[in-house]
């Protein structure tokens, strides 16, 4: 299955420090996903994409993100390596793809975008073909017409756009983006229930407008585990040893850098924490990190013993679960 990484910082990062240089970068995870449990299709070689925002607003360029995608394997794309050494950005989305729905084409490579919005997905919508037509019927023209490919992920993005009060707004509040994501997941669950679908959906979504970042770790099941998702925060992310060994440094309590990833980019034990199943993570424009439970019929509170009994078989079959090899350490997260 796919892998993605998100970077948001108070200062721009050179893309190579996320995409190519770390020994376990998102690009290396495309062919060497060490925490991946599905060995039937061990490669994420069905294309890749990287999207970023300008460090300084330019009226002529606009506020929309720049996105570079390719259907070639990420580890074998010379243009990506060259660009990553010359581009800096304070907000970056990176994605490597293993096809589950949709053909191998540029239109199906993440991230997807509309205006200043950018969106990625790791997972799959259960038996999507049974709800696709119904989902499309409900979409306004602005959302329906943005879809260029044929993946369940891009239709999920269209659904998200349809949940916004004004998709063409010049700016979005954190609350607006958060509520649109809640409604997107709720609507997908409604459609699945109407179609009598029993297969869980794995909905690790992430969206940004260049200021706020919203990410979810979610499965439409009370007994199955969601696809893996981790976060790391600190004041600097840099190479400390030869061979691309990086670590997150914490000089003080300020959060100058926040990263979210399907799989940790480092194996430093203090760098990463696992995001809880059926939770949303919000990075605000002021770099506050919030973890918010997605409370619906599939939510199991941590106080319930059943929360510890979720099984991993479904996510493993999909190649979407990473072993919890990174120890849990104290890290300031505000839960709402």
pLDDT digits (tens, 9 = 90+) for 222-271: 999 999 999 999 999 988 878 788 899 988 888 899 999 998 888 777 88
Task: Output the CA–CA distances (angstroms, integers) from residue 46 to 14, 96, 104, 230, 320, in the order listed.
Answer: 25, 8, 6, 23, 16
Q: What fold does the segment set 3-318 form as a domain?
A: 3.60.20
Share of the chain above pLDDT 90, in %: 63
Averaged pLDDT of the chain: 86
- Phi, psi of 223, rounded to the nearest 5 degrees: -120, -15
pLDDT at position 1:
60
Measure the CA–CA gap between 215 and 333, rounded to whole angstroms: 14
Q: Judge if the upstream peptide bond of residue 190 is cis by omega within 30 degrees of 0.
A: no
pLDDT at position 38:
46
Looking at the whole model, is its pTM more than 0.75? yes
Kindly give the pairing relationship between strand 289-293 and strand 334-335. parallel
Structure tokens belonging to residue 228: 């893996």
Cα torsion angle, 49, 50, 51, 54, sign: negative
pLDDT at position 316:
66
Are residues 205 and 260 in contact, defined by beta-carbon separation less than 8 angstroms? no
Are residues 263 and 230 in contact, defined by beta-carbon separation less than 8 angstroms? yes
Q: Helix 152-162 vs helix 174-194: angle between axes, to the nearest 10 degrees?
A: 120
The mean pLDDT value for 132-159 works out to 96
Measure the CA–CA gap between 277 and 171, rounded to whole angstroms: 30
Domain boundaries, the chain: 3-318
Extract the runs of DSSP E, i.e. beta strands, from the chain. 3-14, 48-52, 66-70, 88-96, 112-114, 117-124, 202-208, 213-217, 230-234, 236-241, 245-249, 257-261, 273-274, 279-283, 289-293, 334-335
Measure the CA–CA gap between 212 and 180, rounded to whole angstroms: 13
Kindly give the pairing relationship between strand 236-241 and strand 245-249. antiparallel
Which residues are designated catalytic? Answer: 2
3-class secondary structure, 282 = strand
Measure the CA–CA gap between 79 and 174, rounded to whole angstroms: 34
Closest by CA position to 269, among listed 321, 194, 210, 324: 324
Structure tokens belonging to residue 304: 């319930």
Q: What is the pLDDT of residues 199-210, one digit of tens each?
A: 999 999 999 999
Range in 28-37, 87-96, 157-166, 234-243 with the lowest mean pLDDT: 28-37
CA-based R_g, the chain, Å = 18
Look up tokens 């979409």; give the residue. Answer: 139
The mean pLDDT value for 272-296 works out to 97
């Amino acid at each position: 299955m796919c892998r993605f990484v998100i970077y948001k910082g108070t200062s721009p990062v050179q893309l190579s420090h996320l995409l190519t240089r770390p020994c376990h970068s998102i690009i290396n995870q495309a062919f060497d996903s060490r925490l991946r449990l599905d060995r039937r299709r061990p490669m994420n070689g069905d294309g890749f994409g990287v999207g970023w925002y300008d460090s300084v607003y330019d009226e002529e360029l606009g506020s929309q993100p720049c996105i570079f995608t390719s259907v070639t394997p990420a580890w074998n794309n010379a243009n990506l390596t060259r660009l990553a050494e010359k581009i800096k950005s304070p907000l970056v989305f990176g994605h490597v793809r293993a096809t589950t729905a949709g053909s191998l084409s540029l239109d199906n490579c993440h991230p997807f975008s509309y205006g200043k919005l950018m969106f990625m997905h790791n997972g799959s919508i259960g038996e999507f073909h049974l709800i696709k037509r119904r989902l499309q019927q409900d979409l306004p023209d602005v959302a329906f017409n943005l879809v260029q490919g044929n993946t369940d992920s891009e239709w999920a993005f269209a659904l998200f756009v349809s949940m916004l009060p004004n998709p063409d707004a010049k700016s979005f509040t954190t609350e607006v983006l958060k509520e649109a994501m809640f409604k997107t997941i709720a609507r997908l669950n409604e459609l699945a229930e109407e179609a009598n679908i029993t297969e869980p959906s794995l909905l690790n979504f992430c969206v940004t407008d260049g200021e706020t970042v919203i990410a979810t770790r979610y499965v439409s099941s009370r007994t199955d585990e969601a696809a893996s998702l981790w976060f790391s925060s600190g004041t600097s992310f840099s190479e400390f040893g030869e061979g691309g060994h990086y670590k997150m440094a914490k000089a003080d309590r300020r959060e100058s850098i926040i990263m979210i990833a399907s799989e940790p980019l480092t194996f430093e034990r203090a760098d990463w924490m696992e995001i809880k199943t059926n939770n949303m993570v919000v990075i605000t424009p002021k770099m506050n990190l919030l973890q918010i439970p997605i409370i619906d019929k599939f939510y199991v509170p941590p106080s319930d013993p059943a929360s510890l009994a979720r099984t991993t078989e479904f996510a493993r079959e999909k190649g979407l679960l990473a072993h919890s090899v990174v120890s849990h350490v104290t890290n300031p997260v505000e839960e709402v």
